[in-house]
Amino acid sequence: MLHVLFVCLGNICRSPMAEGIFSHLTVERGVQSIIVADSAGTSGFHAGELPDPRAMETTVTHGIELTHLSRKLDFDDFLKFDYILSMDSANLDIILAMQKRSGHNRAKVLMMRSFDPEADDDMDVPDPYYGGINGFDEVYQMLMRSNEKFLEFLQQRHL
């Protein structure tokens, strides 16, 4: 079984959206029993909270319900997960520093948009938290493209 973790700052916008989209795609492709996903934040600001209402509204319009409760990334995640995908470079630095301190190198740490065929030089998924619903729609599209290609990558490499 493959374990995938999506990580952003607070785990209420980008990473739970990425988790929900990815899980939806695994069901569509019939691989949900062999590839599972979770999400976390590098901070614990929102621990125990549901995703941002705008994130939930955006995904529901695409038939995806978000039920994840926010949690903070911890050292055990580097043992449990095969892949950890960061939403941006600032969080990538934190993830890599934590991985080094954990002493566990099992997880491959990657940028989410490294799988986005429309990504330019900026590999960050922008944080829509301080904007309007349009920012969440834009992030949804980025995450859908990225997750489709990431799932293809996993299927080619591991299945």
Cα(148)–Cα(24) distance, rounded to whole angstroms? 10
Cα(120)–Cα(49) distance, rounded to whole angstroms? 33
What contacts 24+ positions apart, CB below 8 Å, involve 141-145? Answer: 142/112, 142/113, 142/116, 142/118, 143/14, 143/17, 143/18, 143/21, 143/112, 144/21, 144/62, 145/115, 145/116, 145/117, 145/118
Cα(40)–Cα(103) distance, rounded to whole angstroms? 19
pLDDT in tens, 136-146: 999 999 999 99
Given a contact cutoff of 8 angstroms between Cβ atoms, the answer to whether 21 and 59 are in contact is yes
**13: annotated active-site residue:** no
State the pLDDT at residue 25: 98
What's the pLDDT band for 8 if we cut at 50, 70, 90?
very high
Active-site residue among 8, 38, 113, 116?
8
Query: Once rounded to an integer, what is the mean pLDDT over residues 48-66?
Result: 98
pLDDT in tens, 85-138: 999 999 999 999 999 999 999 999 999 999 999 999 999 999 999 999 999 999
Cβ neighbors of 15 (< 8 A, separation 6 or more) are: 6, 7, 8, 39, 40, 41, 87
What is the separation, in whole angstroms, between the first and last Cα of the chain? 10
- Tokens 């050292």: give the residue: 75
**127: annotated active-site residue:** yes
**14: annotated active-site residue:** yes
Name which of 9, 34, 68, 24 is nearest 154 in CA terms: 34
Domains, the chain, with CATH or none: 2-158 (3.40.50.2300)
Active-site residue among 13, 14, 52, 77?
14
Active-site residue among 77, 116, 124, 127?
127
Is the pTM of the predicted complex or chain greater than 0.95? yes
- For residue 72, pLDDT beyond 90: yes
Cα(15)–Cα(140) distance, rounded to whole angstroms? 11
